[in-house]
A and B are shown apart, each in its own frame.
Chain A
Amino acid sequence: GAVVSQHPSRVICKSGTSVKIECRSLDFQATTMFWYRQFPKQSLMLMATSNEGSKATYEQGVEKDKFLINHASLTLSTLTVTSAHPEDSSFYICSARAPIHLTRLQETQYFGPGTRLLVL
């Protein structure tokens, strides 16, 4: 099966600092990865689409200068929350579009385990 990892799983930081979250596809190459954010008891909201070797595409209302995305290789995408503030505290989840041969012909995305960010 396809595995996506995220690191760190949990991070606590002071207001004003920057936090980097890594998303890796462990056993397949992913030209496209996605970053989501989930508030408590709410749905997953897509923040941006990360394409290997090109600029990320951000959803409306997501500040690209605050949430920096880099997809430098086919197995790694990073999300950096710059100058984090308490309102940035959330659960961040990445996903990678899986090759069709790994998913029994059902196109899907595989999700990482998520990163809990708490900004004090």
Chain B
Amino acid sequence: DQQVKQNSPSLSVQEGRISILNCDYTNSMFDYFLWYKKYPAEGPTFLISISSIKDKNEDGRFTVFLNKSAKHLSLHIVPSQPGDSAVYFCAASVRAGGTSYGKLTFGQGTILTVHP
């Protein structure tokens, strides 16, 4: 049962344009969402997060949007740079406490390629 899904395995974007990475989830208990960037044979690097009480969080070139009713979040990168080329994972967690606190459930990842 894949509770967090990234349905696009790959995305190709021209340098300077916007990259939009999408993520859907099924578990309504998730109340905190994160995006990570990962290079091959390395651990994920945290990019940005959003709590379920918000619908938008912005940090520099990265903006995450959350649509709770649709159980959908997206990561926007503007402007895209060749150095952004990597695998992007969305992750979800339950921050409300209990035994699930802090556990991350990851999507399958989307390979982003930004062409010069």
Give the B-binding residues of A (Cβ under 8 A). Answer: 4, 6, 32, 34, 42-46, 49, 57, 91, 93, 95, 97, 103, 106-114, 116
Contact = CB atoms under 8 A, between A and B. Distances in A.
B89 A113 contact: no
Contacts, number: 55
B46 A43 contact: no
B114 to A, nearest CB: 20
A113 B96 CA distance: 29
Interface residues of B, number: 22
B32 A44 contact: no
B48 to A, nearest CB: 7
Nearest to A95: B43
Contact of B43 (A4, A97, A108): A4
28 contacts: A32-B102, A34-B104, A42-B108, A43-B89, A44-B104, A46-B105, A57-B99, A91-B41, A93-B43, A95-B43, A106-B46, A107-B32, A107-B49, A107-B95, A108-B34, A108-B49, A109-B46, A109-B102, A109-B104, A110-B46, A111-B43, A111-B45, A112-B43, A113-B41, A113-B42, A113-B43, A114-B41, A114-B42
